[in-house]
Amino acid sequence: MSFVKALWLGRMPYLKGLAIQEKLFDVLNNNKNNAAFKNHYLCLFEHDPVYTVGLRDRLYSAEEEQRLLNLGADFVRIKRGGMITFHGPGQLVAYPLFDLKQLRLRQPQGRVLGVRVFVESIEEIIIRLCSDVYDIPKVGRTNDTGVWVDSQRKIAAIGIQVRHGITSHGLALNCNTDLAWFDHITPCGIEGKEVTSLSKERKEDISIEEALSPFCEQVETVFDCDVHLVDASIGDLDRVIEN
């Protein structure tokens, strides 16, 4: 059984979270040939308000960038595909840093995970969390990326990158996010659809902290792994990684 160290890193700027992700990617990549190294990592964040967009998206000019900055959010162009999205308070951002050659699904053939199956598994985690834990009806997939409620309201965005067989980036689940931030953009370039959250669907406040443990439990179920949730928001991160 694979071991996943889930690191709750608290609230921080987007670029700081990205740097932590890259550090953990290097740890995994440098230990690919180390048979004694069995760790996978799951970085869990809440970000300061930020709009992120892929480097190739030319729809957002300097003027558009300034318009969004004037709202009080950061604006970051990053090396990823896809169009603009928002991260901010009340949104659980999860970056799974998994070595696909070591991670296996609960299935008889025990096949090595490919990117497509991995993304479907991430979707399944969110679907199970929303449906089984929070009893939200009609949660599932559509032809558009992410996880949707009633095929019209996006509750989680998903974007995975794989380098050297190691995953990075991941998902953003709206818990009690201020959804007004999305009114200023067309999230992921998808017209005519809404954005929702656990709190909006349940008509009660559901915080990131409340969702953390059940989220990790669904990761354990879907990936048939042992997840150990660690509060890494205080103290020495290097020590947490090593232990």
Annotated binding site for substrate: 80-87, 157-159, 170-172
Residue 28, classed as helix, strand or coil, is: helix
Nearest to 96 by CA among 189, 196, 186, 28: 28
Nearest to 21 by CA among 52, 43, 50, 36: 43
Residue ranges of alpha helices (H) inside 102-182 are 115-128
Which amino acids are annotated as binding site, given as ranges?
Answer: 80-87, 157-159, 170-172
Nearest to 14 by CA among 54, 59, 48, 40: 48
Between helix 115-128 and helix 208-223 the angle, nearest 10°, is 130
DSSP string, 207-238: -HHHHHHHHHHHHHHHHTEEEEEEE-SSS-HH
Q: Kindly tell me the burial class for residue 131, based on how many C-beta atoms sit within 10 Å of its own C-beta (0-12, 13-18, 19 or more).
A: middle
Q: Is 43 known to be catalytic?
A: no
| In the chain, beta strands by DSSP E | 2-12, 39-47, 50-54, 74-78, 85-87, 91-97, 139-140, 147-149, 153-163, 166-174, 194-195, 225-231
- Catalytic residue selected from 43, 130, 175, 188: 188
- Both tokens of 28, joined, read 């995994």
> Which residues carry out catalysis?
188
